[in-house]
Structure 1
Amino acid sequence: MCGFVTFFSNSTIAEESKESLREMRRTIIHRGPNQDGEYMDDMLYLGFRRLSILDLANGQQPYSYNNELEIVFNGEIYNYIYLRDELIKEGYEFSTNSEVEVLAKLYKHFGEKFVEKLRGMFSFIIWDKVNKVFFGARDPFGIKPFYYVENENGLYVASELKSFHCNEDTTYREIDNEALHNYLTFQFVPEPKTMLKDIKILKPGHTIRKEYGKSHEINCYYSIKFNPTPGSKDEKMEEIRKVIDDSVRLHMQSEVPVASFLSGGIDSTVVTALAKKYKPDLKTFTIGFDRQGYTEIDLAKETADKLGVENISKIITHEDFANELPKIIWHMDEPVADPAAIPLYFIAQEAAKHVTVILSGEGSDEVFGGYTIYHEPNSLKMFNYMPSMVKKILKSGASMIPEGTRGKSFIERGCTPMNERYVGNAKIFLDNEKQTILRNFSSDFTIPRAVKDIYAKAASYDPITQMQFVDFNTWLTGDILVKADRMTMAHSLELRVPFLDKEVFRVASKLTSEEKINGHVTKYLLRESFKSELDLTAIDRKKLGYPVPIRLWLKDELYSWAENIIKESNADQYINKASALKLLEDHRKGPFDLSRKIWTILVFLIWYKIFIENQSPFLEQKEIAVDRN
């Protein structure tokens, strides 16, 4: 895993700009502590930080090819050996075993279309010196980050947004109001927007191209498409076992130590069990909290013992949680209010003491249909037979029922169209609730507007597959993969996700809704595929993820801490402090759990202090005062 900073200038790069570009590169040293490199000519700068994984001796970057190409590359190409062999048949010779040399010769042979052949996680930039073309791409699922800014001076690209704040030419601090509205809905800003108006993200499966004197252009080379196909259950199960095993095998490619995260669920259990086949002395890592009911350590240790692998665990306290939060948000780049990011940060910190590469189960829920909410279309099926007028009357009546009354939510959800009801795994604030929180509330930036284009592309899918498609295009890219990359890279740890593989998705995309959600069982065919191979209770265990006790902490130990963050914030032009404080007090009094709403506000306020007010958590690291029981 690595990181890069690039700049394609519209004119000769000024001497005074060079140090700013180098500072942009230094900011991401955590992404690549093993090697520092740069290439510069009159119009172009490529800066690189390397974390050595493959071809330790010869993988230096930027990589120069035949005085024609200069390349920076972040990620892993899992089929690079196959592609290398194909190029050798075409007469190409290789002087290294590195992936970046394969990329150079693929580009030379196939041109920009070569990106369609890649199987892996990546973002890269190729400077074609002969044709004066600046070309980049991001992997099909968005596993690796790719931020960019184009202004009158040229096109900047960076692996992390924080790099832009080291250069006066790219230090943007104007908040995008629509992005802020969407953040309160999703707990993150859906791509390609960021919270900052002038900084964008290249969408997964897209390329970016710029010629001298012209604006950049963006094109799609890969898009997620589901193709539910009836077929033999046994044949599908065999295909699932084979393709996941092959993906794990490829994801084990490394010249440095590889380990696995292990929770109590099926995803990490399958990955760990298959990885052990290729590395019998595999280490596993688990995290938990010092609150009963908020740890999977015992379950993970039980699974580890049955699999015959070593398990290393770590317990987090609320003091750990609060004191590291500013640093965590700095690493995150953008406000992502998923509490699970914090335990991921700590377990990555522990794992980095032992290994350089870690396997994880991210993506399985989106690929195989693993979220409990995917039961909803089946549970609400009765409403499909009701006339729209009846549903309108029922919904109106339900609105008058007191909050918390049993059945109220069921009626409201059943009488609400899918595209208004489901926007992904997290829906924090409703549109009407934002009016009391946001100073600059606009009725234009609604929840249906945020997902309109996604639902238009998913119109032909069944309801469960529509939900998957929404999560692929929002939750996965904006939350799951952002925290996975940033929290592991904070400790120079490379995270690999075998479920998010083009071949795995090709197989999973053919599953019918019944093969994903069967009765009360999620990921039905995935579980069935490994039942005979893995005699473990984890196969049938419900998903917990990284359970975080913020509901309890915000009532007790962290109440005063949260109150102080709100009161001391200078983000008054965006957030109504009185409303935020009322939410906090209402949560403490009960009976409703408002912790996720409060957490979303708190993360934004801390992010604002760091990135808008420029108060880095590394300048004066002080412990945050918390209440102690």
Structure 2
Amino acid sequence: MCGLLGFLTATTATTPDGRTVETTAAQVYEALHCQRHRGPDERGTWNDERMIFGFNRLSIIDIEHSHQPLRWGPPENPERYAMTFNGEIYNYLELRAELKAAHEAEFGDQPMFRTEGDGEAIVAAFHYWGAKAASKLRGMFAFAIWDTERNTLFLARDPFGIKPLFLATGAGGTAFSSEKKSLLGLLPALELSDALDPRALEHYTVLQYVPEAETLHKDIRRLESGCYAWVEPGAAPRVTRYFNPQFRVRKFAAGSEAQRYKEIAAALEDSVAKHMRADVTVGAFLSGGIDSTATAALAIRHNPNLLTFTSAFERQGYSEADVAAETAAAIGAKHYVRMVSPEEYAAAIPEIVWYLDEPVADPALVPLYFVAKEARKHVKVVLSGEGADELFGGYTIYREPLSLKPFEYLPKGVRKLAGKLSDRIPEGTRGKSLLHRGSLTLEERYYGNARSFNDAQLRSVLREFRPEWTHQDVTAPIYAMQGNHWDPVARMQHLDLFTWLRGDILVKADKMTMANSLELRVPFLDAEVFKVAEQIPVDQKITKETTKYALRQALTDIVPPHVLNRAKLGFPVPLRHWLRGPELYDWARAQITDSGTDHLLNKQAILAMLESHRTGPVDHSRRLWTLLIFMIWHGIFVENRIKPEIQEPTYPVNL
């Protein structure tokens, strides 16, 4: 787990302003400093006449030898490739064995590898298999390989988007990085601007995150999950999608579903075993839900001294600390709890937004940040349960197709009439929402697992509102990738893999753990686990009584009974209460008043929304939080008004 940064110059000649590869290399080295938290153990750079690599390393595997930027090549040119790599490859031992056999068939007993790490497995796989190597890697990754013979750059990102990769291409070349903030200082060298993208802002306001491939900076994009790109000097990246998750349902004969549950349990056990591969101590996050509990219960089989961690608030109904402690005792783990006060919560926001790079309006970011900070005192790696809901059908919204099933039998004209009727029904009247949702197609009504503002609310808060910029900019291309035979729940899961999961869940997981130089691993988001998850029929995911039905059945002998059928809260936050009271009301009002976003936002409308939330029955907390996080982001990255105090990372060694 690390931070990478690279710059491919458009030309080796000195530019009219006197810029050379050497001066840009100095800029790259300087830009590495702002992502030092991603890799406090080592910092390194390498360059030739075109390519510049910078790297911050968090040493996890082969600590003494697998330094980066890494050089590798076949015997006739052992320095042919240079690579920087962020992530972990969990099947690297198997890949090394397979590649070594191919190497020995060609070169006999000449040595192939100089290290015991996973990085060389990536480069060697690329040498032998080309772009297909990305599909053979089982893990989380974002990497860059420079071929010094062909003068080509290869970039790739893992199938689900666990690890980030930002890109900027201009007349001066192409730059890429694990963190967007490292690219901001390189924009002039690329001959690009730092202008904001108003469409991305509108998408953020609706979805609570900036959807891939966008960022709030118009000239910086992201390489999307499951994609690779070829880049040549002076040319734009050529991007190819290598992974589009499919849902190929496999039916079992009546009475034989137990075989499915065995396959799910076996895949998870194998994934956790491989995710435990490390030369440092591995712990686990533990909430009160089934996903993190399953991960921890399987992990302790490989580490009997497993440490588990959770965070909580003192307010009643917003803590799973007791359940997590009971779970830790049941599986035999040593458990740590980090309580978070409202004062700590508010004080940490600017620092957290700085680490985020892009605004994400998920209140659970803050307790995740604090539990990661606590975990890093004891371990260097943690396992977590992200991805289980998307793969196995864990969100309650996935039950919606069941409740709307009767509308499918109505003629289109009647469904439209029901929608018009719902518009005339007063807000708050029972049945209004059902009629409205029933009148819409899945593509029209389902954005993914988030929506903050409707169009009327957007008009009131955004200075520049364009009705043609809608959620369908984001969702339509994803729906177009789906199979015609898929059931509605599979289609919703697929959409969430490309929206909510990679836009919110995985961003906060990566950024909040790496802010504390802690590696987070997600065993549910594994290629082999997905192979069994995609085969589950809809009636084994969602029932009238529960979600993730097949997963719960598979975990009957793994997860303690008090958790097995319990709904997960995760890291819940009492935000709506705090914004109404002394905890956060004054803080929120000051953020709005002080913000220099008058040209982008109608601050009077936002202040009115805050007052309405404080005094009235309507809960505006998520809408307010979406705007507050953007204002703080703008204060840091645009106005330079807010200056978070970022401490140099210092952590215990030899964990």
Which bin holds the TM-score, normalised by the shorter protein?
Answer: over 0.9
Q: Which residue of 1 aligns with 2:561?
A: 536
Q: Which residue of 2 aligns with 1:205?
A: 226
Distance 1:48 1:408 in 2: 55
Offset of residue 388 of structure 1: 2.4
Question: Helix, strand or coil: the match of 2:86?
Answer: strand
Q: Which amino acid aligns with 1:61?
A: Q
Farther-moved stretch of structure 1 (246-255 vs 170-179): 170-179
Question: Helix, strand or coil: the match of 1:49?
Answer: strand
Alpha carbons 1:363, 1:476 under 8 Å: kept: yes
Which of 478, 489, 497 matches 1:464?
Answer: 489
Which of 516, 540, 561 matches 1:491?
Answer: 516
Aligned residues: percent identity?
45
Offset of residue 328 of structure 1: 0.2
Q: 1:448 to 1:44 in 2, by over 3 A?
A: closer
Deviation string for 1:302-348 (max 9, x for gaps)?
Answer: 11111111110011111011000000000000010011111100100
Alpha carbons 1:258, 1:356 under 8 Å: kept: yes
Q: Which amino acid aligns with 2:32?
A: R
Alpha carbons 1:420, 1:447 under 8 Å: kept: no
1:509 partnered with 2:534? yes
Offset of residue 164 of structure 1: 1.3
1:169 partnered with 2:189? yes
Q: Which amino acid aligns with 2:238?
A: E
The RMSD of aligned alpha carbons is 1.4
Distance 1:96 1:413 in 2: 57
Farther-moved stretch of structure 1 (326-335 vs 580-589): 580-589
Which of 555, 580, 583 matches 2:580?
Answer: 555
1:597 partnered with 2:618? no
Deviation string for 1:359-412 (max 9, x for gaps)?
Answer: 000000001010011111001112112222322232222223232222221221
Q: Which amino acid aligns with 1:590?
A: G
Q: Which residue of 2 aligns with 1:625?
A: none
Q: Which amino acid aligns with 2:279?
A: E
Q: Which amino acid aligns with 2:9?
A: S
Q: Which residue of 2 aligns with 1:526?
A: 551
Farther-moved stretch of structure 1 (486-495 vs 564-573): 564-573
Alpha carbons 1:257, 1:355 under 8 Å: kept: yes
Distance 2:87 2:474 in 1: 30
1:288 partnered with 2:312? yes
Question: Helix, strand or coil: the match of 1:28?
Answer: helix
Alpha carbons 2:298, 2:558 under 8 Å: kept: no
Q: Which residue of 2 aligns with 1:317?
A: 341
1:73 partnered with 2:79? no
Q: 1:241 to 1:68 in 2, by over 3 A?
A: same
Deviation string for 1:449-499 (max 9, x for gaps)?
Answer: 331111222252211111101101100011000000000000000000000
Q: Which residue of 2 aligns with 1:154?
A: 173
Deviation string for 1:419-445 (max 9, x for gaps)?
Answer: 121101111111232111110100110
What does residue range 119-268 of structure 1 map to in structure 2 within 5 Å? Answer: 119-167=138-186, 168-169=188-189, 172-231=193-252, 232-268=256-292
What does residue range 353-432 of structure 1 map to in structure 2 within 5 Å? Answer: 353-432=377-456
Deviation string for 1:505-563 (max 9, x for gaps)?
Answer: 01100001111102221000000111134342211001212111110000012111111
Segments ≥4 residues shifted beyond 6 Å:
none
Question: Helix, strand or coil: the match of 1:444?
Answer: coil
Offset of residue 172 of structure 1: 4.2
Offset of residue 596 of structure 1: 0.4
Q: Which runs of 5 or more residues in structure 2 are unaligned?
A: 13-19, 73-77, 105-110, 648-655
Alpha carbons 1:260, 1:359 under 8 Å: kept: yes
Distance 1:15 1:58 in 2: 27
Deviation string for 1:160-208 (max 9, x for gaps)?
Answer: 0010123343674312111111111110011011111111000111111
Q: 1:517 to 1:214 in 2, by over 3 A?
A: same
Distance 1:406 1:216 in 2: 52
**TM-score, normalised with respect to structure 2:** 0.93
Q: Which residue of 1 aligns with 2:11?
A: 11
1:52 partnered with 2:71? no
Q: Which amino acid aligns with 2:84?
A: V
Alpha carbons 2:595, 2:635 under 8 Å: kept: yes
Q: Which amino acid aligns with 2:67?
A: Q
Q: Which residue of 2 aligns with 1:586?
A: 612
Distance 2:533 2:225 in 1: 19
Distance 2:632 2:642 in 1: 10
Q: 1:7 to 1:388 in 2, by over 3 A?
A: same
Offset of residue 14 of structure 1: 4.0
Offset of residue 97 of structure 1: 0.5
1:612 partnered with 2:638? yes
Question: Helix, strand or coil: the match of 1:36?
Answer: strand
Distance 1:107 1:242 in 2: 30
Q: Which residue of 2 aligns with 1:25?
A: 32
Alpha carbons 2:172, 2:234 under 8 Å: kept: no
Distance 2:646 2:449 in 1: 36
Q: Which amino acid aligns with 1:41?
A: D
Q: 1:571 to 1:169 in 2, by over 3 A?
A: farther
Q: Which amino acid aligns with 1:46?
A: F
Q: 1:427 to 1:4 in 2, by over 3 A?
A: same
Q: Which residue of 2 aligns with 1:478?
A: 503
Q: Which amino acid aligns with 1:190?
A: P
Offset of residue 112 of structure 1: 2.7
Distance 1:573 1:522 in 2: 44
Alpha carbons 1:375, 1:520 under 8 Å: kept: no
